[in-house]
Structure 1
Amino acid sequence: RAVGSPNYVRIPSAEDTCRMTNLVMQGTENPMAYDLENADYILSFGSGLLEGWGAPGRVMNAWGLWHEHTAKRKARVVQIESRASNTASKADQWLAPKPGTEAALALGLAHVIIKDHLYNADFVDAYSFGFNNWASSDGKNHMGYKTMVLNSYSPDQVAEITGLRPKDIVSLARDFAGAKAPIATCGKGKGYLNGSLYEFMAVQSLNALVGNINMPGGVLVCDPPPLSPLPQIQKDAIASEGLKKPRLDHAGSRRYPFSKSLIGDLAKTIIKSPKSPVNTLLVFSANPDFTLPDGGAFREALKKVPFIVSFSPYQDETSYMADLILPDHTYLEKMDDVVWPTGLQYPLYGISKPVVKPVYATRNSGDLIMQLAKRIGGSVGSSFPWEKYDDVLKERAKGLFDAQAGLVHYDGSVPAWKRLRERGSVTPDYKTFDDMWKKMKAGGLWYLPVHAYKNWGRLFKTPTGKFEFFSTRIELAFYDYALKNMGIAEKGDAAFMPHYEPALSDADRSAYPLLMMPYEMINLASGWTPNPPFLNKTIFDNQLRKDESFAEINPKTASKYGLKEGDRVIIKSPTGTVRVRVNLFEGAMPGIVYLPLGFGHTAYDEFSRGKGVNPNDIIHVGKDPLSGHPVWWNTPVQLIKV
């Protein structure tokens, strides 16, 4: 912004979808805060609780708590996903709907809960909007969530969509509503990739139906850590003019009002333009060439950008396409911060300190940016008043001290989740800011294990001041023509409520009769950082053998193609092809081919490069209605035996 560019884009993740869900239903843009440890019924819509979802150490600990004292345990875990992942295999119950139909299942559960009068009437009647039919100020009658769900999502109707049995849908709904502290989570796999906004809304509507919003064991609504805001940038005439231009990815526009970043649309804009509208691209802490589920579209866009600067400390795929590499320190070599780990039910601000001195002649990217700003000078230089990046972290932390709340010492004998449950108060364990900062650098965190439960009357920041089953923000943002442009199939009032939108594809399904689904493993890095070499030793030889990775295929599907264990096949999509070997797996849904994310590097070192295939290369990407983020779970493919 200091130099006049509105085009700051990020890799999409489940956090982005959660943020939009909270915005359109609750009026805040805070992340989801799941009180897992105090829940007694965990309904996971694809969340890889044992695959690295959220903050993995914390979630693993919660799983251990749920399974303590086997004879007396009260917690029950139900996993909803099409593949028998580790989480599904170890859950108390596993239901496998067709990929992409999770929203329909959530609304089918809502149908039973409403029809059987199992919902929390105290919350729904007094603190929600749009549950019942209603009339607007202009006298127009509107359909409510209850009517839509009862009319369109009966167990029989949902069974047709999902492939599940009606009686299982009914049983699951009654169990969920009958629990003391039920919670429904969402975000597929590790949560590194975005989800469907309407699906997340449908899941959150379940939490609202049972009244477990901002209740112990539910989805809490927390204020973010009170960090000091950074000073406003100073804009000269050039910056002011540049910031008037529309974003190249159209995020935040009338077309995509709830999205802050759409990197896929940025790639399309570059590819479709005769000359790249981007003349300089800076890449920080990301490897979009490898990690984006876009069938290689961003890679094609990179080829058109005249000047690319990578700040990666790794020789990754995107760095290979850069004109200049200014390598950052690795995370072990520098101080950095973590703001509120994904899914945590209380505000936390973490500081990671360097454990080794930089091995090579690398430089902290934050320091480098500030030095470049000072060289530019003028308003750009004055917008960065700090000497080094560590000073920025220290300045942000002043807001924590000014709030006079929170702790910087973690007492393991009284876990934070217990403090929350006991509804106690905390007294800051520091006296001055310097004392707090010193302790934070030594202990690594500030956290606030105190929460005001319920508080429904003042909690929601929506236009109605209530939890919105019918989102007035969506209604205000979209018109009929916009709904059509976004590919939203539902018309009228249903478009403003959680509903099932079938994932659309322009591919010829007779030519591509199967679907390909990527999946994630906790022992295989699938983000921008490479897999540690010793973790490769934990990968089974039916996942990777020498340089060949395996696709999981149900034996029934394999038999149709005359395939047996270990056979080599080509998986072909409308976007491209990969060659793999076959792993016959009863836990794979028939008709679906599963490929692990994290293999297929063409860069990094000899332990990563040339090992297996990257499913992102063949994803035939669609668009999620409303959010504009990629649909990566609906790639049509065919199998060709080698």
Structure 2
Amino acid sequence: MKMEMNRRNFIKFAVGSVAGIHLSPLPWKLTDDIAIWTQNWGWVPRPERGEFNHIQTVCTLCPGSCGIEVRRVEERCVKIEGRTDYPVNPGGICPIGAGGLQLLYNEDIRFTGPMKRVGPRGSGQFKDISWDEAITLLTSRITTLRAKSRPEAIAAIDGHFEGTTVSVLIHRFMEAIGSPNYMRMPSISDTYWTVGALMQGTEGPMAYDLENADFILSFGCGLLEGWGAPGRVLAAWGQWRQKGTKVKVVQIEPLASNTASKADQWLAPRPGTEAALALGIASVLVKEGLYDKAFVKNYCFGFEDWRSSDGKAHRGFKGLLLSKYTPERVSRITGLPKEQIVATARAFGRAKAPIAIFGKGKGTWQSSLYESMAIHSLNALVGNINKPGGVLIHEPLPLTPLPRPSLDDLALSGLKKDRLDGAGSFVAPFAKSLVVDFAKALYEENGYRIDTVMIFSANPAYSLPDQGLFKKALRKIPFIVSFSPFRDETALMADLILPDHTALEKFTDMVWPLGLQYPLYAVSNPALDPVYNT
């Protein structure tokens, strides 16, 4: 008998299949096996019975510096939660912070002690050595280079957060050696520092009073993905969404991110045209008189056309906006309708406490200076600087600087050499570090040769925009030292591994998380003794 697959028979087949699955022992057996299998993963805590205790500390897995409480059974950490008594995150914690135990206990991704490469570079073949042997290998290399009057042949790439004690000590160490080639991994804090210096003449941190703003104009900031101090930003988002509040969030980015999907409005310009869009919004503010005229007159320079002391005429910011960034032209550049640009500008200009923020994604990487300055100009136009719900400009924390080392003649001579990355030169006067340019100089063999590079808490072979170039450059360096606790892409290319502790195993400090509206200096204490020989 031939069975026809019609609607009735299909429903019978589906219902019968569901009933059969539920009556069969197979799904329950599979569920039980999966539960047993997942419990045997290396990073899953398997504490013995014992007393519960709690350690309060600060999470340093990102610059956010959220307060955390680590729950332990005897000496074994079993859970990480947010602290309700900490000023950054009111009890909340992001997924990375909550998953910190995986980084702590997963032996598959960690170096368990000092190691030396025994296979081809990049093969990941190492053998265990003692700490004495590892330190002797590194110190003898440095001593030999200094004996040959080549201290500049030693380089360091630092991935610790800016301003932390360990980062300052690494910089001091490179000064004492006599090498100018101390570099930091690219960071959004570099962009914020440059924007503040060029637009406001300040060196203090730039902060946002998100909690009291009523209009958030976000240019690609991943507010729900970890931007700024994640615990604090997520709490602010929850506050914006409480019943009775009138806070509008407009997300401007080409990607359909979580933040874009949850925002009140999502504008998707063509990639790379965000700066033009910001200036187009500024043009509408100026043309329709929606800017703060008193603030611009009293606190801004270069708004109107002006003449220099030699009598030469210069076009001001106002003239630039009205001639070059009309809504019609910006619409052609960005692909957004002209009406949408005008409506966004009007809503921003008419809000009581509007704020424009920048720092794409998690906000940990450098942004375009042109784009960042264009976005920040919107805050100045509406006069929302050092006001509730606006941008807050602070003086740096009054921390006593660590003493500088006494330099011998060899160190003084080495520090006079040009940096291989060109940071601070005529070509890049505002740059503090240019790791990509450093890699390019190495690969193209421009300038002197680098013999030894030390990489601290960084993975440039993965996180730099041009990963391939950096890997090629590493192959031209005779001796690579990694201080990473993890088997990351850069560490696997190293000749010597001196693994650091992970975040929960060490003392460290954090200086004023990016975007936080009040001063903060945090000290993170270890939640337990080191798990491995690090």
TM bucket (normalised to shorter chain) is 0.5 to 0.7
Match 1:142 to one of 314, 328, 334:
314
Measure, in 2, the Cα distance between the counterparts of 1:268 and 1:83.
Answer: 30
Amino-acid identity (%): 62
Matching of residue 227 in structure 1 with residue 381 in structure 2: no
Measure, in 2, the Cα distance between the counterparts of 1:349 and 1:291.
Answer: 27
2:144 counterpart residue number: none
Measure, in 2, the Cα distance between the counterparts of 1:343 and 1:36.
Answer: 9
Give the length in aligned residue pairs. 360
C-alpha contact (below 8 Å) 2:203/2:395 kept by paired residues: no
Measure, in 1, the Cα distance between the counterparts of 2:306 and 2:405.
Answer: 45
1:31 counterpart residue number: 205
Instruction: State the SS of the aligned residue for 1:54.
Output: coil
Q: How does 1:42-441 map to 2 (within 5 A)?
A: 42-69=216-243, 72-273=244-445, 277-362=449-534
Measure, in 2, the Cα distance between the counterparts of 1:198 and 1:235.
Answer: 39
Measure, in 1, the Cα distance between the counterparts of 2:478 and 2:346.
Answer: 59
1:6 counterpart residue number: 180
C-alpha contact (below 8 Å) 2:356/2:379 kept by paired residues: yes
Shift of 1:213: 1.2
Instruction: State the SS of the aligned residue for 1:129.
Output: coil
Measure, in 2, the Cα distance between the counterparts of 1:251 and 1:23.
Answer: 16
Instruction: State the SS of the aligned residue for 1:44.
Output: strand
Shift of 1:274: 7.5
2:91 counterpart residue number: none
Instruction: State the SS of the aligned residue for 1:308.
Output: strand
Measure, in 2, the Cα distance between the counterparts of 1:110 and 1:286.
Answer: 38
Measure, in 2, the Cα distance between the counterparts of 1:83 and 1:270.
Answer: 35
Shift of 1:233: 2.1
Cα distance, 1:295–1:288 mapped onto 2, change above 3 Å: closer
C-alpha contact (below 8 Å) 1:103/1:202 kept by paired residues: yes
Normalized against structure 1, the TM-score is what?
0.55
Q: Looking at both structures, which has the greater relative contact order when contacts are Cα pairs under 8 Å and sequence separation is at least 6?
A: 2
- Which is worse superposed, 92-101 or 293-302? 293-302
Deviating runs (4+, > 2 A) in structure 1?
29-32
Shift of 1:323: 1.0
Higher helix share: 2
C-alpha contact (below 8 Å) 2:302/2:317 kept by paired residues: yes
Measure, in 1, the Cα distance between the counterparts of 2:440 and 2:198.
Answer: 27
C-alpha contact (below 8 Å) 1:276/1:305 kept by paired residues: no
Measure, in 1, the Cα distance between the counterparts of 2:447 and 2:197.
Answer: 36
Shift of 1:32: 2.2
Whichever residue aligns with residue 370 of structure 2, its letter is: Y
Q: How does 1:528-567 map to 2 (within 5 A)?
A: none
Shift of 1:29: 2.6
Shift of 1:276: 6.6
Measure, in 2, the Cα distance between the counterparts of 1:14 and 1:155.
Answer: 29
Whichever residue aligns with residue 139 of structure 1, its letter is: G
Shift of 1:289: 0.7
Shift of 1:31: 3.1
Q: Unpaired runs of 5+ in structure 1? A: 363-642
Deviations 1:294-334 (A, max 9, x none): 14111111111111111111111111111111111111101
2:40 counterpart residue number: none
2:189 counterpart residue number: 15
Whichever residue aligns with residue 63 of structure 1, its letter is: W
C-alpha contact (below 8 Å) 1:223/1:347 kept by paired residues: no
Deviations 1:398-438 (A, max 9, x none): xxxxxxxxxxxxxxxxxxxxxxxxxxxxxxxxxxxxxxxxx
Shift of 1:232: 2.1
Cα distance, 1:221–1:275 mapped onto 2, change above 3 Å: closer
Deviations 1:569-600 (A, max 9, x none): xxxxxxxxxxxxxxxxxxxxxxxxxxxxxxxx
Shift of 1:85: 0.7
Measure, in 2, the Cα distance between the counterparts of 1:294 and 1:29.
Answer: 30
1:375 counterpart residue number: none
Whichever residue aligns with residue 40 of structure 1, its letter is: D
